[in-house]
């Protein structure tokens, strides 16, 4: 009799876990809906932009095992396209966003075709070299504004009718973009495509021996990551009405690596937590000037030394250990 009762326990546990995730998601969305009434909306929008950027990067690093040092070119490249099409060509926000994302996807395809056949540090260095080339292109190109960038980008009505000139109105549009991007990443990770990416990350030769075209899957992941990073960059332009060289600089690529590692790469919520920590620190320690970079370095060293899985990764590990002990007791 006892053996007959055991199989029923697993679905119950799985169902409880699914219900807990649904409740957590609903609670998180509810908090985000009311958050701008208690916290400065522009700060929250900046967190969401960088959280989406970090989640896009995590799709490549955490779930595919590819370390890119050049993701700023997708983030900043899309920002320039969004700013230019809005300010010069008169695009509405949704069209400017689509133009920026399309540009990043095409740029990601071209960069991926050049880099994807390389492994490890060679892949990382190729992406860094391409990003630096793109940085100097943006510095010299006339349509980017050079060192001045593109400033005072207007907030045109959304779909031609919805006013987003007020921060509170724009906040809910940015929230919708963040939730959309996060959902796309979540579904990708938990799809058969995502499972193949994890298999490639864990043992690429074995995945190839099973008939999977590893480079094909990695290229698709690279393009998707680039497109979502571009979505984050374009959204940032709507918030700050500015596209500058800072968006395409190598420091931006370094920041997204830091956010992902601090929060926990290979976890769904890790990049969100990491982005919130880094953006909050930059916001409240801005008066310290260049010392903020030193503090970021200290946090990175501590995170790598003490929390090798990142904040969220360590919490998940502790939770799994507690569940295992409870199951064995």
CATH of the domain at 196: 1.10.3470
Tokens 């490890």 belong to 120
User: Cβ(274)–Cβ(54) under 8 Å?
Assistant: yes
Give the residue-averaged pLDDT of 113-131.
92
In a domain, 12, yes or no: no
pLDDT band at residue 9 under the 50/70/90 scheme: very low
Report the number of distinct structural domains present in the chain: 1
First and final C-alpha spacing in the chain:
20
**Cα separation, 233 vs 50, whole angstroms:** 8
Residues 208-265 pLDDT 10s:
999 999 999 999 999 999 999 999 999 999 999 999 999 999 989 999 999 999 888 8
pLDDT band at residue 7 under the 50/70/90 scheme: very low
Q: Is the pLDDT reported for residue 1 higher than 60?
A: no
In a domain, 5, yes or no: no
Which pLDDT belongs to residue 8? 44
In a domain, 87, yes or no: yes
In a domain, 18, yes or no: no
pLDDT band at residue 323 under the 50/70/90 scheme: confident
Q: How far is CA 282 from CA 74, 88, 164, 293, in A?
A: 22, 32, 26, 9
In a domain, 98, yes or no: yes
In a domain, 21, yes or no: no
* CB proximity list for 4: less than 8 A, separation 6 or greater: none
**Cα separation, 329 vs 144, whole angstroms:** 63
* Mean pLDDT score across all residues of the chain: 88
Q: How far is CA 77 from CA 34, 62, 73, 83, 317, in A?
A: 32, 23, 5, 10, 37
pLDDT band at residue 290 under the 50/70/90 scheme: confident
**Cα separation, 146 vs 217, whole angstroms:** 36
Q: Which residues pair with 242 in a beta bridge?
A: 151
Which pLDDT belongs to residue 283? 85
Q: Is the pLDDT reported for residue 59 higher than 90?
A: yes
**Cα separation, 15 vs 328, whole angstroms:** 20
Which pLDDT belongs to residue 195? 94
In a domain, 116, yes or no: yes
Which pLDDT belongs to residue 12? 46
**Cα separation, 322 vs 310, whole angstroms:** 18
Which pLDDT belongs to residue 136? 95
Domain carrying residue 297: 39-328
Q: What is the pTM of this model?
A: 0.89
In a domain, 27, yes or no: no
**Helices 41-64, 214-240: crossing angle, 10 deg rounding:** 170
* 3-state SS track over the chain: CHHHHCCCHHHHHHHHHHHHHHHHHHHHHHHHHHHHHCCCHHHHHHHHHHHHHHHHHHHHHHHHCCCCCCCHHHHHHHHHHHHHHHHCCCCCHHHHHHHHHHHHHHHHHHHHHHHCCCCHHHHHHHHHHHHHHHHHHHHHCCCCCHHHCEECCCCCCECCCECCCCHHHHHHHHHHHHHHHHHHHHHHHCCHHHHHHHHHHHCHHHHHHCCCCHHHHHHHHHHHHHHHHHHHHHHHHHHHCEECHHHHCHHHHHHHHHHHHHHCCCCCCHHHHHHHHHHHHHHHCHHHCCHHHHHHHHHHHHHHHHCCCHHHHHHHHHHHHHHHHHHHC
User: Cβ(57)–Cβ(257) under 8 Å?
Assistant: yes
User: Cβ(127)–Cβ(114) under 8 Å?
Assistant: no
């Amino acid at each position: 009799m006892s053996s007959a009762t055991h199989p029923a326990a697993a679905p119950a546990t799985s169902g409880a876990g699914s219900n807990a995730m649904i409740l957590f998601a609903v609670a998180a969305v509810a908090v985000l809906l009311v958050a701008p009434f208690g916290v400065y909306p522009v700060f929250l929008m900046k967190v969401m932009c960088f959280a989406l950027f970090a989640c896009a990067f995590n799709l490549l690093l955490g779930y595919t095992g590819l370390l890119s040092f050049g993701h700023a070119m997708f983030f900043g490249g899309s920002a320039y396209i969004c700013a230019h099409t809005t300010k010069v060509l008169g695009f509405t926000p949704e069209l400017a966003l689509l133009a920026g994302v399309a540009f990043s996807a095409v740029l990601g395809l071209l960069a991926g075709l050049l880099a994807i056949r390389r492994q490890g540090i060679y892949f990382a260095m190729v992406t860094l070299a391409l990003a630096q080339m793109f940085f100097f292109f943006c510095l010299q190109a006339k349509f980017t504004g050079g060192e001045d960038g593109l400033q005072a980008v207007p907030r045109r009505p959304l779909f031609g009718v919805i006013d987003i000139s007020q921060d509170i109105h724009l906040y809910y549009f940015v929230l919708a973009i963040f939730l959309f991007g996060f959902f796309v990443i979540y579904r990708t990770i938990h799809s058969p495509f995502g499972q193949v990416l994890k298999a490639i990350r864990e043992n690429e030769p074995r995945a190839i021996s099973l008939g999977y075209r590893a480079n094909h899957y990695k290229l698709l992941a690279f393009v998707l990551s680039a497109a979502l990073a571009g979505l984050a960059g374009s959204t940032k332009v709507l918030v700050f009405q500015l596209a500058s060289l800072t968006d395409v600089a190598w420091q931006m690529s370094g920041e997204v690596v830091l956010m992902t590692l601090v929060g926990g790469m290979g976890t769904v919520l890790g990049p969100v937590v990491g982005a919130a920590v880094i953006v909050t620190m930059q916001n409240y320690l801005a008066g310290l000037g260049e010392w903020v970079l030193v503090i970021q370095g200290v946090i990175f060293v501590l995170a790598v030394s003490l929390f090798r899985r990142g904040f969220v990764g360590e919490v998940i590990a502790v939770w799994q250990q507690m569940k295992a002990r409870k199951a064995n007791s």
